[in-house]
Amino acid sequence: MRTLTKVISGFGVGRTRLLLWAKYSAASVVATVLSQAAFALCYWFGTAPLVATLVAWVTGTIPSYLINRHWTWGHRNPSGRELLPYAIISVVSAVLAAIVTTVTDNLVQDRIASHAWQTVLVSGSYLATYGVLFILKFVLFDRYVFAKKPAPASADSTEARTPVAT
């Protein structure tokens, strides 16, 4: 582990950032397993890709938000300041996934007779969409959604730096 830490430090990534990335990845695995299972089950039983994406999105987004807010970034109390941007990022992700799965479904319906293979391919397109968005979402969550607000300058520190005329 020390060797890995030294290599990562050489790239300017500290231990804290590595831990943050690991926690985000773990939260994403939980959300992905839940949402992927929901999507595959819905699609297998004949639900339209758009509806299956919506069900899968709700199934994965709620635990993802809770785990990331509390465990990954350590925010104990939810705030409206973080909820709206998180919702926007999540909704845009869901819309992209719905587009990709619908297009994939349209492509496989006429070309592949096996419903099992159709399910695998359309579910795979759902997973691939979120795989592509994985890094982008981390950056957006870290920089905008869960970013720590800078500490306000206190009056005491201003007085300590301001020379007093005597």
Q: Confirm whether 67 is domain-assigned.
A: yes
Tens digit of each residue's pLDDT (9 = 90 or more) over 53-71: 999 999 999 999 999 989 9
Tens digit of each residue's pLDDT (9 = 90 or more) over 17-35: 999 999 999 999 999 999 9
What domain range includes position 74?
14-148
Give the mean pLDDT of 115-133.
95
Q: Confirm whether 108 is domain-assigned.
A: yes
Tens digit of each residue's pLDDT (9 = 90 or more) over 82-92: 888 999 999 99
Residues with Cβ within 8 Å of residue 9, at least 6 apart in sequence: 15
Q: Confirm whether 100 is domain-assigned.
A: yes
Q: Which stretches of 1-92 are assigned E, i.e. beta strand? A: none
Q: Confirm whether 89 is domain-assigned.
A: yes
Q: Confirm whether 144 is domain-assigned.
A: yes
Give the mean pLDDT of 100-110.
95
Domains: count for the chain: 1
Neighbours of 29 (CB within 10 A): 10
163 phi and psi, to 5 degrees? -70, 140
Q: Confirm whether 113 is domain-assigned.
A: yes
User: 97-112 in b/e burial notation, b at 16+ Cβ within 10 A?
Assistant: bbebbbebbeebeeee
Q: Confirm whether 164 is domain-assigned.
A: no
